[in-house]
Every structure is written in C-alpha cells, then in structure tokens.
C-alpha cells in the first residue's frame, strides 16, 4: 500500500501531538495540578494514530482509562482537553469527566472509561446503530490485553460477529494489565487467537509501526463498510511509563532493561528516521512540527489554568433529561 506524503506527515503529527500532550499532563500531575489518577499513553502513539487516520469524522471510537491519546488522534483539541484534565468548566465535559471519562461526541469519541473493558460493548452498540441506520460508519473499540479476560468483551465480540456489525476491535497489547504480566493471566500468547472463537478474522501488527497499524485498519474498516462484519487487530505495543503517573525506573513488575529495550523502538523517532531516509521529510521539518506543537501545549496549559472551576450550583446540570409528558398521562 503506497501512502501519500500528506498522510504520512498526518500520522507523524498526530503521534507528536499525543506525546507532547501526555508528557505535559504528566508534568502537571507531578506538580499536583491535576486531580485524580493519570494513565499516560506514551509509547503507544502509533496505534491511535494508525487507526484514526483510517476513520472519518463521523466514525466512532471508544477508549480505555488510558484514553487521552485516542481523543487527540481523533481530533480532540488541546485547550478543551487540558481544561478537562484540570476539572475546569471549559473542558470537553465541563470538568465532570476528568482524565478517565473524557469524551467529545463532536469528533465521534464516545468516551474514555474507568472500567476495564467497558468501552467495548459501547462500540458494539454504536456499530449496531450504524448498521440499523445504514449510514456507512464504523465504530472502533480500543482496549488492552487485560480487557479480553472480561465478560463484557466476550459478549460484545459474540454479538458483533453474530450480527455482522461494522466494528473494529483494536487490542493494544502492551503485555501488562496494570501491574500483572499477560503471561500470568492467560494461557495464550497472542490475543488474536481468540478471534476465531467468534468467527471473525484477526491479525497481529507491530504496534510500534504506525504504517503497519494503518494498513491493517484500512483493510478492517473496508471489510466492515462492505457489511462483512468485525475484525480484530492485535497491536503489539508498550507503555513507557508506569500504569499510572510518570514513575518509570525501579519498578518491581518489569525491569529497567525491558523498558529500555522497548524505548529503542520508539514509534515516533523510528518513524522520523524512516521518513528522513526515504526523502519524505527533513530533520528541520520535524523540528518545526515539535516546536509548533510545544507552543500549542503551552497555550493550552495557560488556557486551562485561567479557566474557571465549575459552578457548584450546576451539579445536576446534564444529569437528567427533560422528558415530554406521555400522551394521556396525568399532569
């Protein structure tokens, strides 16, 4: 598959946007400027960028507790995202969602989710709606390897296959469910082996290679749009930081050498090397992109810090819906 220079640079830009947003969020958390837990997507950028460059603005995605990267890749804006992480009224969810429940329906991001595996059936529901309304859209569910041990994943996968729903199951296999190694929680090595049990095709891709992810997603999305049902993509990837926060070295559940080995395969830097070698871009091009986006991040932090906290009197706003009275019902 030959990809245009425009698309390749778009992939790169999305990955850099994710990296800079996440690193800034981590620094803010360390400075106690963000409430709650923070699960960073650093290292896994190629998965979100590779998939989301396949999708249209009308396609939907669901995410995980590690969801900032997915929203950035789907078109989320720094100002509203940073404000949401700070719990400010100008955030995408008016400060109510925070890190683990951030969403933006305008770009088809149906929400991050603090419950492991809970985004998968939501994506299947969106896929059902897409098929029912025959709108040609697809839904992509991002989830980790640990989520495939959850009942909701199995029920959702079975339903999607039985009804041939336009859904992409995107497993970000980073080899750990929180602090537990994959090998300690399942007898199989490859998550994709589970796809056959539902009757859907599955493929393993290098989750540190944005082009490989993109090509697999293009094929899966095309299949879904043709009415042939869902596919499972297992992207072998790795998170560079701890399960939550920015702590990295000296952890007991994975070695410093293991982390260092994976960092040698950094999805952004290796991609830049490939594009420079092929003559697609220059180091100056990339330096300019990093500088521009760093300025955008700085502006977003300034915007979020200057934004007001939610008004406590609005605590019930957007919780209940005004319903029209039923015909014939008593007033």
Whether the pLDDT of residue 256 is over 90: the answer is no
Whether the pLDDT of residue 315 is over 90: the answer is no
How sure is the predictor about 317, in pLDDT bands with cuts at 50, 70 and 90?
A: confident
SS3 140: strand
Query: Which is more confidently placed, 192 or 329?
Result: 192
Count helices and strands in the chain by DSSP H and E runs = 10, 7
Q: How many whole angstroms separate alpha carbon 302 and alpha carbon 61?
A: 29
Select from 257, 254, 255, 268 the least CA-distant residue to 208: 268
Which tens digits make up the pLDDT trace of 100-111?
A: 899 999 999 999
Going by C-beta distance under 8 Å and a sequence separation of 6 or more, which residues neighbour residue 241?
26, 40, 42, 43, 247, 248
Query: Which is more confidently placed, 1 or 41?
Result: 41
Query: Which is more confidently placed, 129 or 173?
Result: 129
Select from 1, 5, 96 the least CA-distant residue to 285: 5
Q: How many whole angstroms separate alpha carbon 27 and alpha carbon 286?
A: 23
The CA–CA distances, whole Å, from 282 to 20, 286, 287 equal 20, 7, 9
Whether the pLDDT of residue 331 is over 60: the answer is no
Which tens digits make up the pLDDT trace of 138-166?
A: 999 999 988 888 899 999 999 999 999 99
Whether the CB-CB separation of 103 and 52 falls below 8 Å is answered with: no
Across 293-317, b (16+ Cβ under 10 Å) vs e yields: beebbeebbebbeebeebeeeeeee
Q: Tell me how crowded residue 7 is: count the other CB atoms within 10 A of its CB.
A: 13
Q: How many whole angstroms separate alpha carbon 281 and alpha carbon 276?
A: 5
Q: What's residue 246's pLDDT?
A: 66
Mean pLDDT in residue range 225-238: 96
Q: How many whole angstroms separate alpha carbon 189 and alpha carbon 204?
A: 11
Whether the pLDDT of residue 328 is over 80: the answer is no
Q: What's residue 179's pLDDT?
A: 67
Which tens digits make up the pLDDT trace of 35-61?
A: 888 889 989 999 999 999 999 999 999
Which range, 31-35, 63-67, 228-232, is most confident?
A: 228-232
Q: What's residue 119's pLDDT?
A: 93
Q: How many whole angstroms separate alpha carbon 264 and alpha carbon 269?
A: 9
Q: What's residue 105's pLDDT?
A: 94
Query: Which is more confidently placed, 56 or 251?
Result: 56
Superfamily name and number for 5-314: Thiamin diphosphate (ThDP)-binding fold, Pyr/PP domains (3.40.50.970)
Query: Which is more confidently placed, 96 or 242?
Result: 96
Q: Which of 183-192, 225-234, 264-273, 291-300 comes out lowest in average pLDDT?
A: 183-192
Which range, 68-72, 245-249, 320-324, is most confident?
A: 68-72
SS3 142: strand
Record the pTM.
Answer: 0.92
Quote the percentage of the chain above a pLDDT of 70. Answer: 93
Q: What's residue 250's pLDDT?
A: 58
How do beta strands 176-177 and 167-173 pair?
Answer: unpaired
The torsion defined by the Cα of 233, 239, 242 and 246, in degrees rounded to 10, comes to: -130
Mean pLDDT in residue range 208-220: 98
Hunting for tokens 């293009």 — which residue is that? 218
């Amino acid at each position: 598959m030959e990809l245009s220079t425009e698309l390749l640079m778009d992939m790169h830009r999305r990955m850099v946007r994710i990296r800079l947003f996440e690193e800034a969020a981590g620094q803010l958390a360390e400075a106690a400027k963000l409430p709650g837990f923070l699960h960073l997507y650093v290292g896994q950028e190629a998965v979100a960028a590779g998939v989301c460059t396949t999708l249209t603005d009308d396609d939907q995605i669901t995410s995980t507790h590690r969801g900032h990267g997915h929203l950035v890749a789907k078109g989320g804006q720094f100002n509203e995202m940073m404000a949401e992480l700070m719990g400010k009224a100008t955030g995408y969810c008016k400060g109510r969602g925070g890190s683990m429940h951030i969403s933006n329906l305008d770009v088809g991001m149906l929400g991050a989710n603090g419950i492991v595996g809970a985004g998968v059936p939501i994506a299947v529901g969106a896929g059902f709606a897409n098929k029912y309304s025959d709108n040609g859209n697809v839904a992509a569910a991002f989830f980790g390897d640990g989520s495939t041990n959850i009942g909701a994943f199995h029920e959702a996968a079975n339903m999607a296959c039985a009804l041939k729903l336009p859904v992409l199951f995107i497993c970000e296999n980073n080899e750990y469910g929180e602090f537990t190694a994959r090998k300690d929680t399942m007898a199989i090595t490859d998550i994709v082996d589970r796809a056959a049990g539902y009757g859907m095709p599955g493929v393993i891709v290098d989750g540190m290679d944005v082009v490989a992810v993109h090509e697999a997603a293009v094929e899966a999305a095309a299949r879904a749009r043709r009415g042939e049902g869902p596919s499972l993509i297992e992207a072998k990837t790795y998170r560079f930081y701890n399960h939550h926060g920015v702590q990295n070295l000296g952890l007991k559940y994975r070695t410093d050498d293991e982390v260092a080995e994976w960092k040698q395969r950094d999805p952004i830097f290796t991609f830049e090397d490939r594009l420079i070698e092929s003559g697609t871009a220059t180091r100056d091009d990339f330096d300019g992109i990093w500088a521009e986006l760093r300025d955008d991040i700085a502006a977003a932090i300034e915007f979020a810090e200057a934004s007001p906290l939610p008004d406590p009197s609005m605590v019930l706003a957007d919780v209940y819906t005004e319903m029209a009275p039923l015909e014939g019902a008593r007033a």
